[in-house]
């Protein structure tokens, strides 16, 4: 490809390039009309010949503007009688010649040689170019780019990816969207991610004048919500019960005694700490011994990855997920409870016994920090072995919030602070009724109806807390309700 400022040239001649795109769209439309029986094959051939003639004329004019000598005069096209071929001499010291059977073919070759050819206009081709531009110009981190790639692979089928973006209409997108939501029944948040992928593709196409309008605007969200999962998930699909947590702890202890782990089941120790702290999967590998203070754990970093030639590279990021776009990255502090202290003391003793030296709390026997994806795979296998309906580390964060924090009466602001997210996130996505809450409510009602005891009543900012005498169980009701003695 001849090197010159192709982007500037395309910008200055955007009208011509748009006309070429329009020709391609028209040919695609003719093919569609022929397939539907709207026009005959003879008429289709005539239409395409007319469009091709117009397209060749535009390309010829563009080539003539770039295929010039140093003084700006157009380079000569000649016909070789001996070779029966058309040819022209390319710029440069080597005086390279390009040949073609016809003059029209020669112009087409030059169009490609100078990099004027229209890029792949399939949905996949435009997405590839859009994501490349976004990574180079929008100051996004690699996690965001990878998330776009994942969402694309999740929502865009191979058949749809092959379609030419110039031929797709609002009706086509609505039909594809309807098929998708009826097949996948995505959550509302996932549906928004699907639309984000579409907008990324069509916004790029409009910016580069491949299309003139964005048909994604024709997709009205409310029409598709009835096929989406818009209700809040049930507790059993999001959190682990107290009994399940106990079973998980017992299974981890069992795994530690197996010969293949020899008392050093490091991913199991990471899971035990996550149960007590609600630490994110990526925060566990990044925890260092220097972060363990006398009275608290300083959680202020995470392990991230980026893809490079030869595979995935892991790196230490000195901020947590919720601090990604923050200017102040101080992390959060989690109190060093007796359970947490026991886990860490035990782990340190095992590491000292085995001669393991590392700055990281969770490391392999050679001192190398554990990997997030390996930990998540291990955790998922343990949960599936135990028959749990949920099998991700994130469930431990929600379980800690719902099973421990809320029953203890910890205010929502403090719950959010301990888990490292906003109050809104805690209320909307982390607060679930415990799995055995019906039994708890039944016990409460039976006690109230039988007048067996008079519960003590305490006021908290977010709720009224009733504590049954001779029991550690607490029951919560909205703060706008009046107590029995009010």
- Residue 202 has a pLDDT of 95
Which of 31-35, 247-251, 396-400, 421-425 has the lowest average pLDDT?
A: 421-425
pLDDT at 437 > cutoff 60? no
Kindly state the tokens that stand for 206. Answer: 């409009």
Q: What is the CATH number of domain 123-225?
A: 1.10.150
Domain parsing of the chain, residue ranges: 6-113, 123-225, 236-402, 436-486
DSSP sequence for 313-381: EEEEESS-GGGTT-S----EEEE--HHHHHHHHHHHHHHHHHT---SBSSB-TTSPBP-HHHHHHHHHH
- Residue 10 has a pLDDT of 73
Bridge partner list, 77: 88
- Residue 485 has a pLDDT of 41
For residues 148 and 409, what is the distance between their CA atoms, to the nearest angstrom?
39
User: Top-level CATH class of 236-402?
Assistant: mainly alpha
Largest CA distance in the chain: 113
Across the chain, mean pLDDT equals 83
Rounded mean pLDDT, 183-203: 93
For residues 5 and 115, what is the distance between their CA atoms, to the nearest angstrom?
10
- Residue 235 has a pLDDT of 52
CB 412 within 8 A of CB 427: yes
Where do the H-state alpha helices sit in 36-102? 41-66
- Residue 121 has a pLDDT of 83
Q: What percent of the chain has pLDDT over 90?
A: 47
Long-range contacts of 355-358, Cβ-Cβ distance < 8 Å, separation of 24 or more: 356/264
CB 297 within 8 A of CB 333: yes
- Give the residue with greater pLDDT, 71 vs 370: 370
- Give CA 172 to chain center in angstroms: 25
- Residue 157 has a pLDDT of 94
- Of the pLDDT bands very low, low, confident and very high (cuts 50, 70, 90), residue 313 is confident
- Residue 193 has a pLDDT of 95
Which residue shows structure tokens 């907008």?
A: 199
């Amino acid at each position: 490809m001849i090197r010159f400022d192709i982007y500037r040239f395309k910008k200055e001649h955007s009208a011509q390039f748009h006309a070429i795109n329009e020709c391609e769209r028209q040919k695609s439309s003719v093919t569609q009309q022929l397939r539907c029986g709207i026009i005959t094959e003879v008429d289709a051939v005539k239409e395409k010949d007319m469009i091709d003639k117009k397209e060749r004329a535009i390309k010829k004019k563009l080539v003539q503007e770039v295929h010039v000598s140093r003084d700006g005069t157009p380079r000569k096209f000649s016909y070789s009688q001996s070779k029966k071929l058309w040819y022209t001499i390319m710029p440069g010291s080597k005086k390279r010649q390009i040949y073609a059977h016809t003059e029209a073919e020669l112009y087409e070759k030059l169009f490609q040689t100078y990099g004027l050819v229209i890029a792949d206009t399939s949905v996949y081709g435009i997405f590839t170019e859009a994501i490349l531009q976004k990574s180079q110009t929008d100051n996004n981190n690699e996690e965001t780019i990878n998330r776009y790639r994942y969402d694309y692979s999740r929502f865009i089928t191979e058949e749809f990816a092959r379609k030419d973006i110039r031929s797709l209409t609002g009706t086509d997108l609505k039909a594809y969207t309807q098929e998708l939501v009826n097949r996948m029944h995505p959550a509302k948040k996932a549906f928004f991610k699907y639309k984000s992928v579409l907008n990324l593709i069509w916004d790029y196409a409009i910016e580069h004048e491949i299309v003139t309008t964005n048909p994604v605007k024709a997709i009205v969200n409310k029409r598709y919500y009835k096929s989406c999962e818009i209700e809040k998930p049930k507790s059993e699909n999001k959190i682990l019960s107290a009994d399940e947590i106990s079973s998980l702890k017992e299974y981890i202890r069992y795994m530690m005694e197996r010969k293949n782990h020899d008392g050093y089941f490091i991913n199991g120790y990471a899971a035990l700490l996550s149960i007590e702290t609600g630490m994110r999967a990526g925060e566990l590998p990044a925890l260092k011994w220097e972060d363990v203070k006398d009275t608290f754990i300083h959680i202020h970093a995470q392990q991230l990855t980026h893809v490079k030639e030869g595979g995935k590279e892991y790196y230490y990021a000195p901020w947590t997920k919720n601090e990604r776009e923050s200017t102040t990255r101080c992390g959060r502090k989690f109190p060093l409870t007796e359970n947490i202290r026991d886990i860490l003391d035990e782990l340190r003793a095992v590491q000292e016994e085995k001669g393991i030296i590392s700055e990281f709390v969770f490391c392999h026997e050679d001192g190398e920090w554990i990997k997030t994806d390996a930990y998540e795979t291990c955790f998922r296998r343990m949960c599936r072995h135990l028959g749990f309906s949920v099998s991700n580390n994130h469930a431990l964060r929600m379980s800690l919030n719902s099973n421990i924090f809320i029953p203890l009466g910890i205010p929502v602001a403090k719950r959010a602070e301990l888990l490292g997210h906003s109050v809104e996130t805690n209320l909307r996505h982390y607060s679930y009724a415990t799995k055995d809450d019906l039994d708890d409510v039944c016990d409460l009602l039976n006690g109230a109806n039988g007048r067996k005891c008079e519960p003590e009543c305490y006021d908290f900012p977010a709720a009224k807390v009733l504590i049954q005498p001779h029991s550690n169980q607490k029951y919560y009701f909205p703060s706008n309700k009046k107590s029995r003695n009010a």
